[in-house]
Structure 1
Amino acid sequence: MAQTKPATPTACPALLQYQFPRLQDDSPQNLCQYAGKVLLVVNTASYCGYTRQYEGLEALYARYGKDGLVVLGFPSNDFGKQEPGNSKEIADFCFNTYGVKFPMFAKTVVSGPGKNAFYGALTQATGATPQWNFHKYLIDRSGKVLGHYPSDVEPQSPKLVAAIEQALR
């Protein structure tokens, strides 16, 4: 029987060299585990006019996950105090209301003083800081930020879907 060489692990790009607690249990998660994937990074909130976007984000993850797309959710209480809950409350809401299965991280700061370093790097790469909940950043397989999409760009918008499909090629 022929032996196959183990796959070479994908090097972790500088943009992904951060660690955050997982929403469900606070266990530390290194973003390097997503190296080689196309990432859609989104700051989320449970009580926002855009909260229904969870459904579209989960649909993107279900549709393109097998091709290498991973949606990463970062709950934030930065805008309008629309994410007041603790990790268990947020996790329960996301799963029970919208069936969210994509990776979610513990509540964090994505804008202004105290912004987490990953969001600082995303802002530096694009020149765009989230102005509200459900701002999206698209990152290619090599860790390069391809673009950002404000809150009013729906997950199923032709513009965003086309950019995701291009990144997955």
Structure 2
Amino acid sequence: MNVHDFSATDITGKECRLSDFAGKLLLIVNTASKCGLTPQYQGLEALYQRFGDDLVILGFPCNQFGGQEPGTEAEIASFCDLNYKVSFPLFAKIEVNGENAHPLYKYLTHDLPGILGTEAIKWNFTKFLIDRSGKPIARYAPMTTPDEIAKDIETAIQG
């Protein structure tokens, strides 16, 4: 099993197979519009522009942390476009923890647990780097900035 075995509903309501991204690195991020870390959207977009031939960023809005993503999908998409000119794929709101967690996140957190082996996502903007074959290769804490991940992306691109 790998990330390419999953699908998710995009921000416009269309079902998207993650296998469509086979052959590219993925950076999967749970996002929120009203979080102190929301400005990371700017850094994520910069990574997407810089490595776009090799990297796709997938943003998964989630309202499980402090109710910091209360909007509808249309509101989220508008916020991301107006404030950060986000052009990478965004998805419909999901849960990342608990029994209603999206299957993709159940897989990611099991395959790459966090500190002390915890599978739970701690906060918005937890990031997972996925190799070209769909295998998770790194998990990053919410406070890890997109810029700090750039070297790992470069290394993965060189393969």
Does residue 1:34 correspond to 2:21, yes or no? yes
- For 1:16 and 1:118, locate their aligned partners in 2 and report how far apart those are by CA, in whole Å: 10
The DSSP-based 3-state class of the residue aligned with 1:147 is strand
What is the match of residue 47 of structure 2?
Answer: 60
What is the match of residue 101 of structure 1?
Answer: 87
Please tell me the residue identity of whatever aligns with 1:144: K
Q: How far off is 1:113 after superposition?
A: 2.6
Q: How far off is 1:32 after superposition?
A: 0.8
Does residue 1:19 correspond to 2:10, yes or no? no
Does residue 1:162 correspond to 2:148, yes or no? no
Aligned pair partner of 2:112 in 112, 118, 126: 126
> What is the root-mean-square deviation in Å for CA atoms of aligned residues?
1.0
- Conserved? CA contact 1:44–1:51, under 8 Å: yes
- Conserved? CA contact 1:16–1:118, under 8 Å: no
What is the match of residue 117 of structure 2?
Answer: none
> TM-score by structure 1 length?
0.88
- For 2:66 and 2:78, locate their aligned partners in 1 and report how far apart those are by CA, in whole Å: 21
Does residue 1:111 correspond to 2:97, yes or no? yes
- For 1:15 and 1:76, locate their aligned partners in 2 and report how far apart those are by CA, in whole Å: 19
Count how many residue pairs are aligned between Structure 1 and Structure 2: 153
Aligned pair partner of 2:67 in 71, 81, 86: 81
Please tell me the residue identity of whatever aligns with 1:62: Q
- For 1:27 and 1:15, locate their aligned partners in 2 and report how far apart those are by CA, in whole Å: 18
Displaced runs of 4 or more, over 4 A: none
Aligned pair partner of 1:69 in 55, 59, 63: 55
What is the match of residue 153 of structure 1?
Answer: 144
> TM-score by structure 2 length?
0.93
- For 2:143 and 2:137, locate their aligned partners in 1 and report how far apart those are by CA, in whole Å: 18
Greater gyration radius:
1
Identity of aligned residues (%): 46
- For 1:113 and 1:51, locate their aligned partners in 2 and report how far apart those are by CA, in whole Å: 26
Unaligned 5+ segments in structure 2 are: 115-119
Unaligned 5+ segments in structure 1 are: 1-12
The DSSP-based 3-state class of the residue aligned with 1:156 is helix
